[in-house]
Amino acid sequence: MPRIYFTFFLLFCTVIIVFYLNKVYVYEKILSQTSLWNTYSGGETRTIFQDPNIFLRQNVRTHIGDISFLEFREELYKKYGYDLTIPTYPFVTVQSKYVMNCTWEFSDWLEQQKKRSSRRPRAYIPDGEQRDFLMNKYSGVSYKYTDDRKKLNITYKSWDNIADIVTWHARDVLRLVDNMSGISMHYAMKHYYLAGKRGLILASDHPIVEVQAIQNGASRILSVGQVSRETNDISSLSLTEFANQHGRYSQSFDFVATYGTIESVGLGRYGDVLDAFGDLQMMAMLGCSLKKGGLFFLGIPIGRDAVIFNQKRIYGHARLPMLIAGFEWIGTFGEDFQASTEITGPEIDRLHKFDHMKRTLVLRKL
């Protein structure tokens, strides 16, 4: 009898030792790897990334080579007033060191508008501002120029036909721009059911997002940023009027939505004032008008961080976390699936330099 116990005991010890060695070995192996982020696509590895020893050593690809999160933390986030708080995958979570002051955001924006001039938009980033536009060098840059000032004075016919357009099929609405990528906004709104909700929309040329919101049940929309018309469900304001009346709209909307617009704010293409942080400030202004817990539907290009001057920005590991600081990221929609999908490290890594994927992120205001 005792012999059997002894055998069991030996067996037990062996199992423990093997298990321990294995763990140490695996752990060491993982610790020494700096490219897990780009090769694993989630699951188990997420818990590994909770360990700062592993996580901060991970490298992600940028236009100037592979950069670790440790370097991002020290050379980028800290310098621009953010703390890296949670190693979320695949984009980290950062938090602004400053308490949001909505009054300041709007009055600063109005103050900056005084610099507006009627000269042609710039074709190059001014020398003194390279560093901020390129986020202390982590962003790539390429050039593609258009002068779209006249677009601001066009009232697209689609604004007059909204009553008709809302009766169209969701895919037909996107024929207005001849580009299906915006269907991700429709999928996102459908998933989060907007029935009876009031929304604020940052307008683009055609009232597509406005129509998508109405089709998905929104009861009332305020559209800001374009010269447009009133309809039964939609009213509109210029950005200046909106900023002047911000007190009236403070924390008053159930949701905010914008597709394909935020990435060009501050690049001067529409005659707007050049501002390296224009997109971040616009995000803050829209966020200030959103109720706590309200949803922000954000359609942006995602890839390796870049500025395509004066067209748009591409959001990657460096800037995306700063753009969505203060929100919880709860859903991601692409053009291929009606359901929420996830963006993975390898997916971002596979993209070529200035390539990007358009996604609608769903964020919840904290």
Minimum gap (Å) between residue 107 Cβ and ligand NAG = 5
Rounded-to-integer distance, Cα 72 and Cα 288, Å? 27
Rounded-to-integer distance, Cα 203 and Cα 36, Å? 39
- Tell me the two tokens of residue 115: 């610099």
- Comparing CB distances to ligand NAG, the nearer of 32 and 153 is 153
- Comparing CB distances to ligand NAG, the nearer of 55 and 159 is 159
- Comparing CB distances to ligand NAG, the nearer of 53 and 153 is 153
- Comparing CB distances to ligand NAG, the nearer of 153 and 232 is 153
- Comparing CB distances to ligand NAG, the nearer of 122 and 149 is 149
- Comparing CB distances to ligand NAG, the nearer of 39 and 155 is 155
Rounded-to-integer distance, Cα 90 and Cα 340, Å? 15
Phi first, then psi, for residue 208 (nearest 5°) are -70, -50
Minimum gap (Å) between residue 48 Cβ and ligand NAG = 34
Minimum gap (Å) between residue 105 Cβ and ligand NAG = 9
- Comparing CB distances to ligand NAG, the nearer of 104 and 143 is 104
Cα–Cα distances (Å) from 295 to 94, 150, 287, 323, 366, in that order, read 19, 32, 9, 15, 10
Encode 261-278: b = buried (16+ Cβ within 10 Å), e = exposed: bbbbbbbbbbbbebbbeb
Phi first, then psi, for residue 85 (nearest 5°) are -100, -45
Half-sphere exposure at residue 5, Cβ-oriented, CA atoms within 13 angstroms: 2
Q: Is the distance from CB of 254 to CB of 291 less than 8 angstroms? A: yes
Rounded-to-integer distance, Cα 232 and Cα 163, Å? 9
List contacts with ligand NAG (CB under 6 A): 101, 103-104, 107, 149-150, 153, 179, 181, 260, 358
Helix ranges (DSSP H) in 193-310: 208-215, 239-244, 246-249, 278-288
Minimum gap (Å) between residue 153 Cβ and ligand NAG = 4
Which runs of E-coded beta strand occur in 275-322? 290-303, 306-309, 312-314
